[in-house]
Amino acid sequence: MITLFKKEVKSFLYSFTGYVVIAIFLIINGLFLWIFPLPATNILDYGFASLESFFINAPLIFLFLIPAISMRMFADENKSGTIEFLMTKPLSEWQIVTGKYLAGVFLILVALLPTLIYYFSVYHLGLPEGNIDTGEMWGSYTGLFFLGAAFMSIGIFTSSLTDNQIISFLLAVLGIGFFYFGFEFIYTFSLFGPVDLFIRSLGMNVHYISMSRGVIDTRDVLYFLSITGFFLFLTKISIQSRKW
């Protein structure tokens, strides 16, 4: 599994596409935070030592970034026929799925680490210096990481369904979009009466917002772990079906 993990990370970082995807994530966030004159997102125009706009924008960028990372992980193996070769290795389906998934999560961390410069910039720009809610910031980073990890599990699953990277990308965008926006959208119609709040709680957005307040609730952590485990289980079934 470790060998597979290293292979996936190297194949991404040694490719031009890998750096382009990460660069786009950083550039778009940087433009909204520091360049575009939008009071709602530009830190300098906003007037407060806060990274709230970053944590609002990042999930929307992740909606496209993570499918771009995950789309090739199984789709490329399916297209080239190397998935059958991989299945003959002394690896279980869980090890194959976990190795690829952890590689994807590692790449999310690679994309997030440079954004810490935003925190240090705002920390020093505050009046007085250091006037930033550090607890809320770390809670938001934790929530963003769990959100990205859940997004990745959906992307891995959709990649296992097809041998076409574009189709994998589109399916992942639709799946992630539904889990992030869909239940919130359904909730606004108040169609289910007393279970409306339960319907809303099935969506990722409400749990991400909860963690972004700086309080790490075990219910939110369990939610993201459950979503991640569920889609990894579906991925295992998907690649296992190729043996039948």
Per domain, the residue ranges of the chain are: 2-243
**Tokens 């700086």 identify what position?**
214
127 pLDDT band, cuts 50/70/90, is low
* 6: confidence class by pLDDT, cuts 50, 70, 90: confident
Tell me what pLDDT residue 180 has: 93
What is the rounded average pLDDT of the residues 48-73?
Answer: 86
According to the model, what pLDDT value does residue 207 have? 92
* Crossing angle of the two packed helices 218-240 and 134-160, in degrees rounded to 10: 20
- Helices 93-112/2-13 angle, 10° precision: 40
pLDDT of residue 102: 94
What percent of the chain shows pLDDT beyond 70?
Answer: 87
Which residues lie closer than 8 Å to 180 by C-beta, 6 or more apart? 59, 63, 203, 204, 205
Full-prediction pTM beyond 0.85? yes
